[in-house]
Structure 1
Amino acid sequence: MAATAAPRASTARSTIRLLSLRGTRTPNLSFRTRAAVPTCAHLRCHLSHSSDSTPTPTTSDADADPDPEPQDSLRFAFACGGAGAGGRVYSAIALADELHNSLPCSRSLILGAPAPSLESSAAAAASYPFAPVQPRCLPRGILAAALHFRRFRPHVLVATGGAPVLPACLAALLLGLPFVIQDQDASPAPVTRLLAPFALRVFLAFNAPVRLLPKRKCAVYGNPVRMSILKCRASKAEALARFFPRAGLLGEQEAQVVLVLGGAEGSPEINVAVLNVYYEMLRKRKGRFLHELEMAYAASDVVISRAGAMTCTEILATGKPSILV
């Protein structure tokens, strides 16, 4: 059925309590959102009373109207960019998963660089709708983000870093859409320092960046970890079978697996050593980015990695022995 935008403003102004991340002690923070729906009287939003809690399937048609939804559902947009590293993208996925688990009627939209990109493939793997934002041309990126916001009508934008964050946050400012920032690193990214004065909150993983940002807006919550990693119950034998089908003849104790990761920045020393040992394997398998990292952790006995912020957080969550470069 149809409802005018005026009654919906009261719902949009309801208090949203941000979820505290596991392993933190900072109390929950609450903030009020402004109505994300345009105030023009002739614009209408379509509402229904569906209680389907399944995440919206990924669609390549970002211009399509959203599916009918409950009147009290909350919509979150996530802006992120991969650029070869998954920390920013998987932070957005982890937050979207947590929100959907706690608020089954909530809906999430991932904004990132056009496909083929890490964020587009990660959104598809997690069954979240994806909307492309061109980060290389700022005016086009702002326009694209604004159009996506107008169609999806989010209540808040969550920026987790990467090139698409700047046009998405500028579009949010122009539309009066509140946004928050989640920065994973020990040193805030340049875009975080630029946008922090305009953000509603800045969520950090470490205490050090607080001195470089507006202190009253900062909250140290740690880094989010994907539910697929936290809730992975696969045995080592099952995980080994996923990556090494011929290893079934060996017992779990006999098969020793080393998981090698590069972190956000990568490591030339690790790359050279691994390429020398596994040249043939890498030549046969072209797709080198691993989305099923929870199975890789389950299969491994030790992890060798660059000390990236998100990688360290995941290693701590899985309890795996590690050698950090």
Structure 2
Amino acid sequence: METNKSNSNSSENGKVRIILAGGGTGGHIFPAIAIANAIRNQRPDAEILFVGAKGKMEMEKVPQAGYNIKGLDIAGFDRSSLFKNISLPFKLIKSFSQVKNIINEFKPDAAVGVGGYSSFPVLKYAQSKGIATFIHESNSFAGKSNMMLGKNATKIFVAGEGMGKFFPAGKIMITGNPVRRAIVNSTATRDESIRSFGLDPNLKTILAVGGSLGARSINEIMAQHVSELESLNLQLIWQTGRATAQRFIERGRPSKNVWVNDFIHDMDKAYAAADVVISRAGAMSVAELCVAKKPVVFVPYPLAAEDHQTVNAKYLVDRDAALMVKDSEVNAKLFGAITRLATDEALQEKLKTNIAKYAVTNADEIIAKEILALL
């Protein structure tokens, strides 16, 4: 579908207007905010509006970043309960009506989809109106919604090679994944960062993160072994995520060598404080850890589409840039793997040196420049 040329010329006649759609997890929200910030840096007069799903994380995080957001009444397919999907068609119809009103009122020159429930109706309607649409696909396996939207997209930004099996080859541009500027430009020191979490700079520090929503298997292992850390001269910064957070917070808080909460707001300080990291292997977590140059034990989420988190982790593991423990093996292997890594400085240095080779620090700037050039 061709872009509506009369609409796209508004960037020459006045302010450029761009919608960013998507969310659900930090892995979608923070790259979208990074892209928005890069657009603003290159075009300070740009008017930017986010569209997300009501009740999801973006409705809080986007306003905190200084942007307006409209919420849609939309949800994804719930594989755990077919009963919960009864209202899905009605929500989808309602969301398209909401999108129509948002786009007709805001009159964007472009819509950018970053993944998540709200991306599909926004980009689908924008394409029907001849508005330029851009997709950012962060993972090594494209989501079904993005694959459907890709046929009529103006341009598709991807993290790495091999995405031609999902999208029209001529529309693909390899950019890497946008990492938050606070992490890219971090000047946080290890000791100051550790003290900001109320911990001791003289102890080796483990950072355990399972993504913004949490990782049950990682949390369960940390809960089982948290009392053993002090005798090993180790301390822990533990982001539990929001799912069942209170139980894990109560487990960790009595220990003076543990900082625990459902969310870490200053991830640049968390990375600076960490000597070693336990993490899921979502695309954005991987991108951030490459930039932060951290020795990491990945625990890929086993139910990710096409097992793409294992693919993400294995790419680095095969290059001696990370370690990996399967989710099914965490009980037997994870605590031993992270404590051995925490005491093996030679292995830490090797992993840090190798993971740093895969850091991309300017994906947000490249994506913003490409979007603005085509408007």
Q: How far apart in 2 are the matches of 1:277 and 1:118?
A: 30
Correspondence for 1:73 among 1, 7, 15: 15
Q: 1:106: how far off? A: 1.7
Which TM-score applies when normalising by structure 2? 0.62
Gaps of 5+ in 1: 1-30, 38-44, 46-68
Per the alignment, residue 307 of structure 1 pairs with: 281
Correspondence for 1:262 among 210, 213, 219: 210
Matched-pair contact (CA < 8 Å) for 2:110–2:131: yes
Correspondence for 2:249 among 278, 282, 286: 282
| CA deviations over 1:254-289 (Å, ceiling 9, x no partner) | 032211122489654322112324587613699613
Aligned-partner SS, 1:270: helix
Q: 1:215: how far off? A: 1.2
Aligned-partner SS, 1:81: coil
Which deviates more, 271-280 or 174-183?
A: 271-280
Aligned-partner SS, 2:294: coil
The correspondence of residues 199-238 of structure 1 with structure 2, limited to 5 A, is: 199-238=153-192
Q: How far apart in 2 are the matches of 1:288 and 1:197?
A: 39
Q: 1:227: how far off? A: 1.0
AA aligned opposite 1:291? H
Q: Structure 1 residues 140, 161: CA separation in 2 closer, same or farther (over 3 Å shift)?
A: same
Q: How far apart in 2 are the matches of 1:294 and 1:36?
A: 39
Per the alignment, residue 108 of structure 1 pairs with: 48
Q: How far apart in 2 are the matches of 1:305 and 1:197?
A: 34
AA aligned opposite 1:271? N
Q: How far apart in 1 are the matches of 2:247 and 2:52?
A: 33
Q: 1:167: how far off? A: 1.2
The correspondence of residues 10-25 of structure 1 with structure 2, limited to 5 A, is: none
Which TM-score applies when normalising by structure 1? 0.71
Matched-pair contact (CA < 8 Å) for 1:79–1:161: yes
Q: Which runs of 4+ in 1 moved over 6 A?
A: none
AA aligned opposite 1:173? Q
Q: Structure 1 residues 266, 34: CA separation in 2 closer, same or farther (over 3 Å shift)?
A: farther
Q: How far apart in 1 are the matches of 2:195 and 2:63?
A: 24
Q: How far apart in 2 are the matches of 1:133 and 1:35?
A: 28
Matched-pair contact (CA < 8 Å) for 1:97–1:227: no
| CA deviations over 1:292-320 (Å, ceiling 9, x no partner) | 32221122121111222111110111112
Per the alignment, residue 117 of structure 1 pairs with: 56
Q: 1:174: how far off? A: 3.2
Correspondence for 2:138 among 184, 191, 196: 184
Tell me how many residue pairs correspond in the alignment. 256
Aligned identity (percent) is 27
Q: How far apart in 1 are the matches of 2:264 and 2:216?
A: 19
Q: 1:35: how far off? A: 4.2
Whether 1:295 aligns to 2:266 is no
Q: Structure 1 residues 125, 164: CA separation in 2 closer, same or farther (over 3 Å shift)?
A: same
Per the alignment, residue 241 of structure 2 pairs with: none
Matched-pair contact (CA < 8 Å) for 1:33–1:156: no
Q: How far apart in 1 are the matches of 2:58 and 2:42?
A: 23
Q: How far apart in 1 are the matches of 2:143 and 2:171?
A: 16
Q: How far apart in 1 are the matches of 2:133 and 2:153?
A: 6
Q: How far apart in 1 are the matches of 2:260 and 2:298?
A: 26
AA aligned opposite 1:276? Q
